[in-house]
Amino acid sequence: MHITDKQYIRCIISYQNTSIMHDLFSNFNKFFNITKSVFINRINQYDNFIEYRHRPKMSDCQIIALAITGESLGIDSENYFWGKLKSDHKADFPDLIHRCNFNRRRKRLYPFIELLNQTIANQLNEGEDTFLVDSVPIPICQIAREKQSKICKETFETAPDKGYSAVSKSYYFGYKLHLLTSLRGIFVSMDLSKASVHDVHYLKDIKHSGINHCTLIADKGYLSGAHQLDLFSSCHIELQTPKRTNQKGYQPFPFIYKRVRKRIETLFAQLCDQFMLKRNYAKTVLGLSVRILTKITAVTLLQYINSKNDKPINHLKYALAC
């Protein structure tokens, strides 16, 4: 039987993905060692951040590393992930806790996952002076089920609502993820807002992200003279956005800015494809937030692994194969 080039490539990729899944414990150890190295001065002898009355089977660092491992392998179902751990990796994880306990502890460890992500990202972003900002829709359910859905509706302030996606040119029900990255696509800051919130309001948060004396490249959704002046006067951030054709003093957006903006668009594509950003089964806002943060942290750590191995940092699918 003749095998085409495309079929051969699919077989190779499938083999690589299967090998990575079978080597799950080795991948877990990579993330566990990175986590311990970052928090070496904040954990006790049992790799925990706090002193538990009864020492748990799995340490805090193991919880964080296991969560990142699942996201980095593109496993969207925790039931499936736990089933694989119990059936194929029972000897590697003899102290595996119940999935509900894992979820509760992962939510409590949200600040430490955020700190891990920020620490590694700051190392990779050292010396950067150009940044990108954009947003991506995070749907919760189909638009037809918006009135019946009870997901993430604990309080009115954090409840999802209906917004418009300019990319798909359709309405959706959920949230909007705002992401600030460096020119190389490395995380700097993030925020989760209601779907109806305009992109320009995220510029207020950028003043507190820690960046200054730099250039910020955005799309037309962030076009605002008042915010542009405020960013420059407060943090010396030069906001560059394309102008509308009917604006006074219109000039075409420089090609170099259009080109570098593709980096954050590619990052969103990777998050939606490999990390299944829009496929979330969380029932609370905190659960949704920690899942999204863990996905972004997985991206940052994979970029860090590529950087240490002198590989292109954004070849995320092959980082664990090094």
Total-model pTM: 0.88
pLDDT at 13: 42
Tokens of 220: 């037309």
83 Cβ neighbours under 8 A, 6+ residues apart: none
The b-or-e profile of 42-55 (16+ CB within 10 A means b, else e) is: ebeeebbbeeeeee
pLDDT tens-place string over residues 22-31: 589 999 999 9
102-157 residue pLDDT tens: 999 999 999 999 999 999 999 999 989 899 999 999 999 888 888 888 889 988 88
